[in-house]
Amino acid sequence: MARLDTNRSGEMEVFVRVVERGGFSAAAKDFNMTPSAVSKLVGRLEDRLSARLFNRSTRRLLVTVEGQRYYDRSVRILADMREAEEEAANIVQPKGKLRVSVNMPVGLHRILPLVPEFQTLYPNVDLDITVSDKVVDLYEERADIAIRSGPLQSSGLIARKLGECRMVIAAAPGYLERNGVPQSIEDLNEHVLIGYNFPRAISEWPFDVNGEIKTVMPGGKTCVGDAESARMVALAGGGIVRLAAFHIREDVNAGALKVLVDQFNTGIGVEIHAVYIGQGGNMPARVRAFLDFCIERVDLT
């Protein structure tokens, strides 16, 4: 029978405090220990892990790459342990810092406007939101949730579907006055089609022509790094863009953009998922609260 090691969480807490306080002496005061005892504890931890967690000198204590990784995981594990204990005692309330990474269209036009409502419902949750079309690594970025569009890559992450968004082709009236209004899919090849320059971008534009799917490839004349930049270029009259209908609905209603060749729209929506680290139902209360809130309140139509 394997030996039950009940001291690992204590080691983690001391190690985390050493990192956050910047030294053995400061951490020792927090735990009413001697600096020598803290140093020995960290040494035993390094021996057990067979990894150096700190580079020591007479003046400085520097965290190694392995130490930083262990710190990141330890912070998450200790937070989950606290919430598990609270949940078992039926006193759990969503609280703590929640790091969210969300793509540009959903973030700017759907998530950020709802932040005040979420803050009112969950005043003990501190939101840390990054809006970017860059696909982040949840482990490396220490993010709790990432909201992503399109097909999901195979990974160990858990995903919850938030909805689907309809994609449309559009351009500004000024651009169309100068270059003409495309009437067919073939006409699009004569226009400036705004593309993307980041990995995982859907490069081809699909269309349904008499039941057959045909695609058009945006040229290299204008490429941008995110969907909001594509919208801004289109609004300025720089070309034709393919974006989520909800993303440009206000622009279309205001006449700033005009939807084109919609009779050839495939009608196939792009799925939006929230992905997170975990094992399904066992998740921190702050993560569950945010996911449930998004499913209920975020409109992607």
What are 146-172's pLDDT values in tens digits?
998 887 765 667 888 999 999 999 999
Q: What angle do CA 26, 29, 32 make, to 5 degrees?
A: 150
d(CA 114, CA 291): 13
**Which residues on neighbouring strands pair with residue 158, listed in sequence order?**
276
Residue 78 is predicted with a pLDDT of 85
Residue 200 is predicted with a pLDDT of 58
d(CA 82, CA 80): 5
Residue 135 clears pLDDT 80, i.e. is over it: no
d(CA 73, CA 153): 23
Residue 111 belongs to what H/E stretch? none
Residue 278 is predicted with a pLDDT of 66
- pLDDT over 90 for what percent of the chain? 54
Residue 71 clears pLDDT 80, i.e. is over it: yes
d(CA 63, CA 55): 6
Q: What number of other Cβ atoms are within 10 A of residue 62's Cβ?
A: 10
Name, in order, each residue with C-beta under 8 angstroms of 270's C-beta and a sequence gap of 6 or more.
Answer: 149, 150, 164, 165, 167, 202, 244
Q: What is the pTM of this model?
A: 0.67
Residue 31 is predicted with a pLDDT of 87
Residue 287 belongs to what H/E stretch? helix 285-297
